[in-house]
Structure 1
Amino acid sequence: MHLIIPYAASHAFSGPEVWAGLQLPHLQALLGLLQRQQVLQDTPTPSLHLPHERLQAQALGWPHEADQLPWAAWHLAQQGQYSTTPQAWMTPCHWQIGMNDVVMADPAHLRLSDDESQQLLEAMQAFLREDGLQVTWHSALRWHVQGELLAEVPTASLDRVVGQNVKHWMPEHPASRPLQRLQSEMQMLLYNHPVNDAREPRRQHTVNAFWLHGAGTLPATPSSATEPVTVLDALRSSALMGDVQAWQQAWQALDATALAQALEHLKSTGQLTLSLCSEHVAHTYTAAPAAWHQRISRLFKQPSPAAALAALITP
């Protein structure tokens, strides 16, 4: 059993006030029984993919430091639709265009309805087909893309770009040039689209761009994790919003549910892997046999949750 917790700590907030009053008794008990075995850390040039994504890719036997992690193809394969065709996710989004920066707003804040999303995709279909892309509507913020154009293009994960200057994450690979042209065409197409015309009076962000992510091709032989892997996303939304109070509440709820169950699992089976992740660092803890003197030592040197989480954002 491997639990991966994205945004266990976040660079959006730090300092003693973040940890004040944060009671995580089950995490504290787990840290007293587990040993840190692996540290995954970004280089000065961050990876296109967040640490929790790379850990999950590693568990699946993929080259986790690759420029492509084929999450779209993997997701469809989990639904029984395995294919070696290059695939990706396309997410409609809003770019805030400033003098020097083009910043992506969190697509979730668009509150895009299914009907609005479907109308926008329908308007784009002719242009997408011209580039050999077959796009089907999956949900309001996830359109599924297939096409040979996606075979080599590197794509940064959506969460890597939210709130950031998109220019830093636009791939410079030659394979991405048709997609950059398509991006420009879509910005012009969507500028006066009826969906956007209706959103402006309601003071809602318009949809003026898309982000391609999770691109790539699954290996010919499907891979599976060596142990069951669960990614717990309960902290994501509040971390991306920079809402400390909501993040603390989400952490405490997670501790009382999933981590309480994990502690019982560890006590009954002696097996558990726990990965705590921030945007740039991941620490993985595993159950390891310990001699009697090591067990006694752990009783007096149990790391506090605050110290373990702060270590994810402290250089």
Structure 2
Amino acid sequence: MHLLIPHACALAEACHHTLSDLDLPVLSQLLARMAVVERSEGDEYSYSPPHERALAAALGLAGPDGGVPWAAYWAQRDGIAPGDLAWGLLTPAHWHVGTDQVSMLDPQALQLDAAQSREILEAVHFLFESEGWALAYGAPTRWYAAHESLADLPTASPDRVIGRNVDAWMPDHPQARLVRRLQNEVQMLLYTHEVNDRRAERGLLPVNSFWLSGCGLAQPAAEPPDLVVDERLRAGLLTGDWAAWADAWRELERGPLADALAAQHRGERVRLTLCGERHAVSLETDTRGWWARWTSRRSRQAPVALLQSL
């Protein structure tokens, strides 16, 4: 069993305060019989967050920072044959215009259904096709673009951009100028589009832009049958709802972490990957003799300290 947990901690002081007050007995028991086997170091400014780096490693995908070809990977899972084209993931989004910056809200907050998503994609497709880009629909919050210029374009994960200034995450790359122009053109077209009028009548956010990420050529990927990626911490952390984030940790304790502990008690090898805002750490069941386990246990960090180090 390999349990991968994204958004296990953030650098925000409120996150560390919440974590300090959180009781995690199941995680404590699980870590007591585990040893660190791998640590992925990074910083909070990388385009690829730690959980994406860890997942890419588990799947056998490779690429530089912001260059793992997630679009081609997800396109295949959505039934689209990537061929030898370079693909990019287009995430429909709501950009909030503030007094001093433009920020992107979580695309999940749009509550897009397939019919509306297809209608919006149909409305904007000519803007992309006029530049030689081919578009394809994958899911309500997953559109795809194919063009040779996307082969080596580094881009930031949407999880890096949500709630933050979008300008700070635009790549310093010649091709990014075209992307920004397309974003502006999409904003102007959708500003008065009837689909957003209907959404406003239902109290839903308008779809007024997109984010491009995961660019590159398709790579063969291995699908580990024992890999479980649990993203229930995501929403609370990205919105700064620390009460909800703490509740999600308690759900993890009752669910996947309890399952991992039970597997460990059955003598099965368990791998746990915890991902924060900068780093990811992977631990595995320590199968060494009791003396080696006891001596190494004295130098291990407590669960809260380990999470806050990420």
TM-score using structure 1 length: 0.87
CA distance, structure 2, for counterparts of residue 138 and residue 82 of structure 1: 12
SS at 2:11's partner residue?
coil
Q: Does structure 2 retain, via aligned residues, the 8 Å contact 1:68–1:155?
A: yes
SS at 1:206's partner residue?
coil
Partner residue in 2 for 1:171: 171
Same amino acid, percent of matched pairs: 37
Partner residue in 2 for 1:117: 117
Alignment of 1:54-69 (within 5 A): 54-69=53-68
Alignment of 1:213-232 (within 5 A): 213-219=213-219, 222-224=220-222, 228-232=226-230
SS at 2:83's partner residue?
coil
Deviation of 1:309 (Å):
2.0
SS at 2:273's partner residue?
strand
Partner residue in 1 for 2:76: 77
CA distance, structure 1, for counterparts of residue 170 and residue 133 of structure 2: 19
CA distance, structure 1, for counterparts of residue 83 and residue 24 of structure 2: 42
Post-superposition Cα deviations, 1:199-231, rounded to whole Å, max 9, x if no partner, equal: 445554322211012221123xx2326784322
Compute the RMSD of aligned alpha carbons: 2.5
CA distance, structure 2, for counterparts of residue 218 and residue 120 of structure 1: 26
Q: Does structure 2 retain, via aligned residues, the 8 Å contact 1:35–1:286?
A: yes
Alignment of 1:6-25 (within 5 A): 6-12=6-12, 13-20=14-21, 22-25=22-25
Q: Structure 2 vs 1, CA of residues 301 and 72 (structure 1 numbering), >3 Å: closer, same or farther?
A: same
Deviation of 1:112 (Å):
2.8
Q: Structure 2 vs 1, CA of residues 17 and 67 (structure 1 numbering), >3 Å: closer, same or farther?
A: closer
Alignment of 1:289-304 (within 5 A): 289-297=287-295, 303-304=301-302
Post-superposition Cα deviations, 1:32-54, rounded to whole Å, max 9, x if no partner, equal: 011123332324x7211110101
Alignment of 1:8-157 (within 5 A): 8-12=8-12, 13-20=14-21, 22-43=22-43, 46-78=45-77, 81=81, 83-157=83-157
Deviation of 1:249 (Å):
1.6
Q: Structure 2 vs 1, CA of residues 17 and 160 (structure 1 numbering), >3 Å: closer, same or farther?
A: closer
SS at 1:135's partner residue?
strand
1:291 corresponds to which letter in structure 2? Answer: G
Q: Structure 2 vs 1, CA of residues 244 and 182 (structure 1 numbering), >3 Å: closer, same or farther?
A: same
Q: Structure 2 vs 1, CA of residues 211 and 67 (structure 1 numbering), >3 Å: closer, same or farther?
A: same
User: Aligned match of 1:267 in 265, 268, 271?
Assistant: 265
SS at 2:66's partner residue?
coil
TM-score using structure 2 length: 0.88
1:28 corresponds to which letter in structure 2? Answer: S
Gaps of 5+ in 2: none
Q: Does structure 2 retain, via aligned residues, the 8 Å contact 1:48–1:160?
A: yes
SS at 2:215's partner residue?
strand
Aligned length: 308
Deviation of 1:70 (Å):
1.2
Q: Structure 2 vs 1, CA of residues 32 and 217 (structure 1 numbering), >3 Å: closer, same or farther?
A: same
Deviation of 1:295 (Å):
3.0
2:25 corresponds to which letter in structure 1? Answer: P
CA distance, structure 1, for counterparts of residue 293 and residue 19 of structure 2: 30
Q: Does structure 2 retain, via aligned residues, the 8 Å contact 1:72–1:87?
A: yes
Partner residue in 2 for 1:183: 183
Deviation of 1:29 (Å):
1.3
SS at 2:15's partner residue?
coil
1:194 and 2:214 correspond? no
Q: Does structure 1 retain, via aligned residues, the 8 Å contact 2:286–2:293?
A: no
Q: Structure 2 vs 1, CA of residues 227 and 37 (structure 1 numbering), >3 Å: closer, same or farther?
A: farther
Partner residue in 2 for 1:158: 158
1:257 and 2:275 correspond? no
SS at 1:259's partner residue?
helix
CA distance, structure 1, for counterparts of residue 297 and residue 56 of structure 2: 34
Gaps of 5+ in 1: none
